[in-house]
Amino acid sequence: MFFPTRNIKQHSVSQHNGRYRHTCYIHSRHLGFTLIELLTVITLLAITATVALTSYNGTQEQGRYDMTKFEMTQLREALLQFRQDSGSNDFPRQGAYDCTDVANDNPSDINPNIDGQLPVAAGNTDSEKIAWCQHPANLWMLFADPLGAGWNMDTKRGWNGPYLQRKDGYLTLTSNTVNLIDISNPLWSVADPYTNNSTDSGIEWSLDSGSDFINSSASPYLFRVDLNNPVGNYQARIIAAGSDGLFEDNDADECHAQAMDHVLCLLN
């Protein structure tokens, strides 16, 4: 039990050389805090901890938001450089880089100029290869030369990549819940910063095309572009799912964000 502080005074009288001398001793004893004082301190510490945790979570969220914007800007620069180097103002999956052989009126066949450059992960049949090549989460043309023609030093045109210096991993989508097309052949994708360490969404990442999945369900960045009309009004754009990990109606021709999505149009 705690007692309030109290002061104890003692007096003594002594005789020295015939004179009396008074000596006063004062003892001050602090025996502890009261229960009310302790409860007050504990309450203040709890409030401080709550405010600090809320501030920390807010800082983390702002950090992810800022990193998403930064990485989308880097992707935009890479795609614009690809387009400029092409000499034909084509983005990946457009024009000469079309995944299909539509130029020869064979839209169900893989582009023969691209076929020889596709990795094993793309699949075996033409339909598998086209689905892999055209998937909006697949950024493989920024990492590898899709035509195998390289860079022409005379014309300063061609493929002068890689345009990105990192690939987060290989992505597969199985019964996914984030509004993307399922695909079992691993895509060359880049993950956004919103990782929640779960595979419930059907998003699975691996470090290479043959390794086990890692426990991460970060959504990939998407690159949407009109495959049929490069000069049309359909805006080439980069999309991130945002904090909810869910892509909205990303087929719509929109340059503004929907719900929690982040959208960056390349030519605006």
Q: Which tens digits make up the pLDDT trace of 135-170?
A: 999 999 999 999 999 999 999 999 999 999 877 788
- For residues 56 and 135, the model is more confident at 135
Q: Give a yes or no: residue 17 inside a domain.
A: no
Is the torsion defined by CA of 154, 158, 145, 216 positive or negative?
positive
Task: Report the Cα 93 to chain-centroid distance in Å.
Answer: 24
Q: Give a yes or no: residue 63 inside a domain.
A: no
pLDDT of residue 60: 75
Q: Give a yes or no: residue 35 inside a domain.
A: no
- Contacts within 8 Å (CB) and 24+ apart, 50-53: none
Strand ranges for the chain from DSSP E: 6-16, 19-29, 100-101, 106-110, 151-152, 157-158, 169-173, 183-189, 203-206, 213-214, 222-224, 237-240, 262-265
- For residues 228 and 101, the model is more confident at 101
What average pLDDT does the chain have?
80
Q: Give a yes or no: residue 48 inside a domain.
A: no
Helix (H, G, I), strand (E, B) or coil at 34: coil
Provide φ and ψ at 106, rounded to 5°.
Answer: -125, 70
What proportion of the chain, given as a percentage, has pLDDT over 90?
41
What proportion of the chain, given as a percentage, has pLDDT over 70?
72
Helix (H, G, I), strand (E, B) or coil at 10: strand
Which one of 3-12, 56-65, 66-75, 210-219 scores highest in mean pLDDT?
66-75
Q: Which tens digits make up the pLDDT trace of 211-244?
A: 666 656 788 999 998 765 544 556 889 999 888 8
d(CA 135, CA 193): 21
Q: Are 73 and 264 in contact (CB under 8 A)?
A: yes
pLDDT of residue 52: 60
Count the domains in the chain.
1
Q: Give a yes or no: residue 244 inside a domain.
A: yes
pLDDT of residue 119: 93
- The residues near 38 (Cβ < 8 Å, ≥ 6 apart) are none
Mean pLDDT of 195-221: 73
Which one of 45-54, 179-188, 194-203 scores highest in mean pLDDT?
179-188
Provide φ and ψ at 197, rounded to 5°.
Answer: 50, 55
Q: Give a yes or no: residue 138 inside a domain.
A: yes
Q: Which domain holds residue 114?
A: 68-265
Q: Give a yes or no: residue 129 inside a domain.
A: yes
Which candidate, 122, 132, 97, places its Cα nearest to that of 227? 97
User: Which helix (H) or strand (E) segment is 157 a member of?
Assistant: strand 157-158
Angle at 263 between CA 262 and CA 268, to 5 degrees: 145
d(CA 144, CA 188): 10
pLDDT of residue 79: 96
